[in-house]
Amino acid sequence: MSIEATLDELVGDARRLATSGTRRILGLTGAPGAGKSALAEVLVEALAPNALLVPMDGFHLAQAELERLGREDRKGAPDTFDAAGYVALLRRLRDPAEALVYAPQFRRDIEEPIAGAIAIPQGVPLIVTEGNYLLLDEEPWTALAGLLDEAWYLDPGEEVRVERLIARHVAYGKPLAAARAWSLGSDQRNADLVELTRDRADRIIRVAEDSQARGLHQCSAPGGARGAR
């Protein structure tokens, strides 16, 4: 069962983690279109400079590698990511001996990951990470749950989620028919898989409608935040 929360409440909960005295890692998960990246950016902006965003999307396999493996038509499925690399990064972020860690970033304008794009100094107390498969019960993804201090599953409701997803694909250049087909095809298969992980989350959250209008929906356009993932 999901609980409704405002952005202010969620920022307060994230601030509690950021002021705990040691580095904490907050994971945001949910199906494609749930609003993970948008909420992550709201939290990090509100808590700056005491929080940084390190998305799972940076571990997308390069397009050339997806084509070599024959997986380009289902980009976003679990086996189209370097999951072991993502696990290794979170382990480094939990190691107090690491003075500076660099993470990759996925660039939607070129649909490719860029290595070493995010610098994470030792002194940042809260890392916010977001992605579809943080609680997936498959190796090597299973290691992630033990590396997160809290995992929040976002559940905006299926109709809202699919509408957001289609709008995002259109915003990034897909014709409406193609955006709908991808959202209800490849994305939906991934969503069904992510849905199976919801009971492993510490909290299942639906962001209050007034908060969405004030914050999350402002993060849905290209050139600003990375869309309501």
Least-confidence region, from 44-53, 79-88, 158-167, 216-225: 216-225
> For residue 63, what are the CA distances in angstroms to 74, 80, 81, 103?
11, 10, 11, 19
- State mean pLDDT over 65-80: 92
Q: Alpha-carbon distance 158 to 175, whole Å?
A: 22
Tally of domains in the chain: 1
- State mean pLDDT over 178-198: 84
Q: Alpha-carbon distance 147 to 10, whole Å?
A: 20
Q: Has residue 103 been placed in a domain?
A: yes
Q: For the segment 75-103, what is each residue's pLDDT rounded down to a tens digit?
A: 889 999 999 999 999 999 999 999 999 99
Banded model confidence at residue 217, pLDDT cuts 50, 70, 90: very low
Residue type, 112: E
Q: Has residue 105 been placed in a domain?
A: yes
Q: Has residue 171 been placed in a domain?
A: yes
What is the distance in angstroms between the CA of the first residue and the CA of the last residue of the chain? 21
Instruction: Report the chain's C-alpha Rg in angstroms.
Output: 16
Q: Has residue 204 been placed in a domain?
A: yes
Q: Has residue 224 been placed in a domain?
A: no
CB 107 within 8 A of CB 114: yes
CATH of the domain at 197: 3.40.50.300
Domain range enclosing 35: 3-219
Q: Has residue 225 been placed in a domain?
A: no
CB 96 within 8 A of CB 111: no
- Position 182 scores a pLDDT of 67
Q: Has residue 226 been placed in a domain?
A: no
- Position 209 scores a pLDDT of 67
Q: Has residue 227 been placed in a domain?
A: no
Kindly report the length of the chain: 229
Find, among 130, 171, 137, the residue nearest to 153 by Cα: 130
Residue type, 103: A
Strands 203-207 and 112-121: unpaired
Q: Alpha-carbon distance 43 to 53, whole Å?
A: 9
